[in-house]
Structure 1
């Protein structure tokens, strides 16, 4: 029988500090160190465009991070975009924790199954109230919310409307600016 050794977030940080993981694009998911998919030009462009739009709309409300770690109980993923609470000085000595995170976004061009299944469950288990997946190929936004029993109870797909995140119902975001 095969037994897989799981790593804690603390173990993972020690590996990073000692340089063991230097030059390796990895993230910790459910105690397992996973190689991240290489980022293609379209993914980078879409991530940059969405982050710029969100920074404009959320100025003074939240910090928008691109491809930086967030620390969960047994995972340290690097979501494409994390919208976290201010002030940014909170993150001088640590990455954002679940209670700091308003919502997370993954841009899916080659990682759709992983984003819709594995990452969705990891984020739900961590208590992230809202999770968005931008499907590059279909030009649509999937929004997961209504968290209960370690899963999202509601999934909605948008293409052209205006939406508001749970954390900021007064802010209107044009879905076309996120998906096109």
Structure 2
């Protein structure tokens, strides 16, 4: 007997979010799979906040700094990196999350999710049609 896993699209995922099915879960869509995200530890939260604040101070209004917000990278992946530096497109993001062509830089902090980040998320980021995305892992950051 062959077992086939159902793959979800970004549209499927958005319908689940809109219907409230995922309200009590901290998840992201990676390669068609809905993946649970571990709770954010204190060190992780502190490092993400300090990093984002530093980038805002450094880059000003030339970019938008998004913390833990979705990016639509393909029809089957909508990860939520810790920090994303994207084009400041104002109201356009009311209609959709940033696409690969809107992204300048991604930052991931990791500890307990290190294997997922290095194996799954790194591949999701690498296979997206992007201009240039850097992937940073800070081991020991508490998530």
For the pair shown, the structure with the greater C-alpha radius of gyration is 1
Q: Secondary structure at the match of 1:59?
A: helix
Aligned equivalents of 1:57, 1:115: Cα separation in 2: 26
- TM-superposed CA distance for 1:111, in Å, is 1.7
Given the alignment of the two structures, is residue 59 of structure 1 paired with residue 56 of structure 2, yes or no? Answer: no
Given the alignment of the two structures, is residue 109 of structure 1 paired with residue 111 of structure 2, yes or no? Answer: yes
What residue number does 1:46 align with?
A: 47
Relative to total residues, which structure has the larger helix share, 1 or 2? 2
Given the alignment of the two structures, is residue 36 of structure 1 paired with residue 37 of structure 2, yes or no? Answer: yes
Given the alignment of the two structures, is residue 131 of structure 1 paired with residue 142 of structure 2, yes or no? Answer: no
What residue number does 2:81 align with?
A: 79
Q: Secondary structure at the match of 1:27?
A: strand
TM-score w.r.t. the length of structure 2 is 0.90
Aligned equivalents of 1:83, 1:95: Cα separation in 2: 13
Equivalenced residue count is 138
Aligned equivalents of 1:55, 1:136: Cα separation in 2: 23
CA contact (8 A) 1:62 1:83 kept: yes
Q: Secondary structure at the match of 2:4?
A: coil
Aligned equivalents of 1:87, 1:27: Cα separation in 2: 23
Uncovered stretches (5+) of structure 1, i.e. residues with no partner: 139-180
How much is the aligned-residue C-alpha RMSD, in angstroms? 1.4
Relative to total residues, which structure has the larger strand share, 1 or 2? 1
Aligned equivalents of 2:24, 2:106: Cα separation in 1: 25
What residue number does 2:120 align with?
A: 118
Aligned equivalents of 2:84, 2:92: Cα separation in 1: 15
Uncovered stretches (5+) of structure 2, i.e. residues with no partner: none
- TM-superposed CA distance for 1:37, in Å, is 1.1
- TM-superposed CA distance for 1:120, in Å, is 1.0
- TM-superposed CA distance for 1:136, in Å, is 3.8
TM-score w.r.t. the length of structure 1 is 0.73
